[in-house]
A and B are shown apart, each in its own frame.
Chain A
């Protein structure tokens, strides 16, 4: 700045230079945005409308590819050729006029026609509409291209539909196929293909019967498709206009057919793939679009369209729909080499692997746990049965021991009625031996012998049931009569030890309990014998044995056996039910332990309390109702 101020002439030169550079830069800056902001005008012309399969797929794909591959911004205008559905060319006229008006002031840089009808249209009206605009014809089978009318501004990205390969694919994956119905309508393009396909499939004439649908309305065909003969296949060519003149959209029609058809459906183009068709070698939309976009880019870049030659797009590697393979029983081994399988249902395993592992492990763990518990349960049952058997055996030994102790009383009980019988029979004989036999007295004596005999057998029966080895079935028992049986046997013992026995049994109907008579009698026998012996060993004091029975409303029975003996010291009281605990010098210490086991086995309870003096034992047994 300092120098500028000092030397004006220098300043002036510098100023001019800077201004020149600035203006150059401005020009540069203005030029670049202008070239970038001017998008290339591209028209896409579809044969039947953007939404008609298979061209709908091309519409989406080509737009994306053009935008991707073009270095310039593109202004894409799209049109559909409605007239292609019929052979009538009249409806074209207004459309041609419309296009001419539209593009008169806005020249197009490129025209891309999609499908054969569109190709035909642009070729036919080229001179009138876009004489010098370069054109790319795509998605058109090479058989449908009028190569003769191509100009130096035209190029073709053709496809080659190999119908023979497509039908051979059917025969490969379903070798039993006999009938192939080709779905085709009545529009010009469809008519063309009917003829072309018929010609191309001639080599297979001896293997399959071909039939066509162009003589039927699509609805009629749908009806037929329900009941196609076995070993049929359907080849989906095109269904644009049926015999009744109804226009169909390819995708919807195919779906409707798929919903009712009793035969597998095949086709030639990827755009039909995805639910309805089984698969096979297919034309890939992407292949055509990529090629076309590449060619378009070269043309926009200035290359002469007529000089660009690209080979037709062929079938790609076969692709199959796994769901349809399952439906028609096509094994993977029948697919041609290099086939791709799509839509394979993800197996539960792959989808829920960890969940399944978790569930399985939980189930396994639980199963193991259950098995373990069952095993434990069984072992416990076995142990319980064994312990019950041991208890029964011990109980029997204990009964035998008690029987030994009671032998004197038992003998007495048996001898009493025997003595009566002997005496009475002696009396009877003497009554009869008198000069005038006293028959009345003799008869009375005989009657008493009978009574005594009955009592003797009753005594023996009681003894047998009380001391038998095998445990009997549980049966309803009257506890009072059990107590009386035991008292009958122990009465003498009580007398011997000077024990007064006070009995107060439940009055009124005694509720029955379920049990083993021998075992329960043994319980009372043990308790009573213990009491008698305890009091017998004591010196002085009143020797009273009190036996009571009571019943509850619920049918439970409580028997109390109380003695006035010396009892058991507090510190030993807790142990009285333990095995091998005894206060008797000659005792084995099993009696009360066995009693408790027996009562427990009957679902009852045996417990004791310390009285003043002596001990009181309680036997509680559940009633039958429980």
Chain B
């Protein structure tokens, strides 16, 4: 079981009720997850989030800043940590708001232990994926940054679906020069096909600028 989780995986439990936050923490620890508990949102905010896949287990209502408030704040700060909400008495509007805000799950107390484990598991998986995609994007960004301005310009036109002849005509160079730049672009970006280059451009957000 332990092998399923990388040691860096961390679950952060925030609940003002000591009994509940300890119980959740203990449950998670029993399946080999690392946990960190907080009694309130401000306490958590003062703490520096370590690098690594993590997941938040949050009580919806707490004195001061509530779980939903934290979710909003994190979304504003583009901190995309998966959140599993727990609540004593949740209503539908609250659930909808939480899920729209990107919550992994919304568990009503008393929750089944397996539901909690599954939800946390799903959250951690999602975080891992997110982290992986964030790394890929960063690589693409640096590859894209290594392109010359001309190459960058040509890549935008290529991913926009323009033919070599069209591109040569638009920027006023020969078709051979376009082919040469295209070769460099494919090499620098590590793309094996135009389709792959288009997907990269999409990740880099280049396509939207064309619209």
Contacts and interface: CB of A to CB of B under 8 A. Distances in A.
Given A411-B89, A492-B61, A418 B26 contact: no
B125 interface: no
A452 B89 contact: no
B157 to A, nearest CB: 54
Interface string A407-450: 01001110111111111111110110000001001001100100
Chain B's interface size range is: 20 to 34
A455 interface: yes
A448 B27 CA distance: 12
A451 interface: yes
A191 interface: no
A224 interface: no
B71 to A, nearest CB: 16
B88 A492 contact: yes
Nearest to B114: A426
Contacts of A419: 20, 23, 86, 88, 109-111
A420 B89 contact: no
A444 B61 CA distance: 27
The residue among A422, A428, A496 with the most chain B CB atoms within 10 A of its own CB is A422
A472 to B, nearest CB: 29
A412 B89 contact: yes
B19 interface: yes
Interface residues of A, number: 34
B113 A423 contact: yes
Interface string B56-68: 0000011100100
B84 interface: no
A441 B88 contact: no
Interface string A335-349: 000000000000000
Contacts of A554: none
A495 interface: yes
Contacts of A421: 23, 110
Interface in B1-54: 17, 19-20, 22-24, 26-27, 29-31
A418 B66 contact: no
Contacts of A411: 88-89
A416 B31 contact: no
The residue among A415, A419, A496 with the most chain B CB atoms within 10 A of its own CB is A419
Contact of B22 (A426, A448, A492, A495): A448
Contact of A416 (B17, B30, B111, B116): B17
B112 interface: yes
Nearest to A441: B30
A431 B30 contact: yes
A441 B114 CA distance: 18
B62 A495 contact: yes
B27 A427 contact: yes
B63 A448 contact: no
Contact of A495 (B26, B61, B109, B111): B61
A452 B17 CA distance: 11
Contacts of A500: 63
A413 B113 CA distance: 19
Contact of B61 (A417, A431, A455, A496): A496
Contacts of A430: 27, 30-31
A415 B88 contact: yes
The residue among B17, B27, B117 with the most chain A CB atoms within 10 A of its own CB is B27
Nearest to B91: A408
A411 B87 CA distance: 11
Contacts of A428: 30
Contacts of B19: 416-417, 420, 448, 451-452, 455
B62 A423 contact: no
B109 A426 contact: no
Given A418-B110, A419-B86, A495-B61, A426 B20 contact: no
Contacts of B112: 422, 426
Contacts of B86: 419
A418 B66 CA distance: 21
Contact of A427 (B30, B61, B62, B111): B30
Given A423-B26, A430-B27, A495 B88 contact: no
Given A415-B88, A423-B113, 19 more contacts: A416-B19, A419-B88, A420-B17, A420-B20, A420-B22, A421-B23, A422-B110, A424-B27, A425-B113, A426-B27, A427-B23, A438-B30, A441-B26, A448-B23, A452-B23, A492-B61, A495-B61, A495-B62, A500-B63
30 contacts: A408-B89, A411-B89, A415-B110, A416-B17, A416-B88, A417-B19, A418-B109, A419-B88, A419-B109, A420-B19, A420-B22, A420-B23, A421-B23, A421-B110, A422-B110, A422-B111, A422-B113, A426-B30, A426-B114, A427-B29, A430-B27, A430-B30, A444-B26, A448-B26, A452-B19, A452-B23, A492-B88, A495-B63, A495-B66, A500-B63
In order of increasing CB-CB distance, the 4 nearest A-B pairs are: A426-B113, A412-B88, A419-B109, A430-B30
